[in-house]
Amino acid sequence: MGVHIVMDRSGDTRHEFDIADARAVALAERRFKELTGKGFRAVALAKDGGSGRLMGRFDPQVEETLFIPQLQGG
């Protein structure tokens, strides 16, 4: 099972998907591309709570991906 955690102004939204379901994986990849295309940073969270790694492309084997919106100055 994979999960995308999307941070935004209202908190976070979780989108779970079954990596054995090709349609669910395709939807997850589309979400990944849409969010990163809007400037979100995708981070693969470490299983042990350690440092995550920045992702440049979709990987369905990553269990938890955190999407962080681009910071805006003001």
Q: Is residue 16 a part of any domain in this protein?
A: yes
Determine the structural domain holding residue 46 and report its residue range.
Answer: 2-68
Distance CA 74, CA 39 (A): 17
- Structural domain includes residue 74: no
Q: What is the pTM of this model?
A: 0.88
For 18-72, the pLDDT digits (tens) are 999 999 999 999 999 999 999 999 999 988 877 899 999 999 999 999 999 987 7
- Residue where the block lists tokens 């681009």: 70
- 2-8 and 64-68: which strand pairing? parallel
In a domain? residue 40:
yes
In a domain, 21, yes or no: yes
The answer to whether position 73 is within a domain reads no
Strand 53-55 to 64-68 pairing: unpaired
| Dihedral (Cα; 57, 67, 54, 21), 10-degree rounding | -40
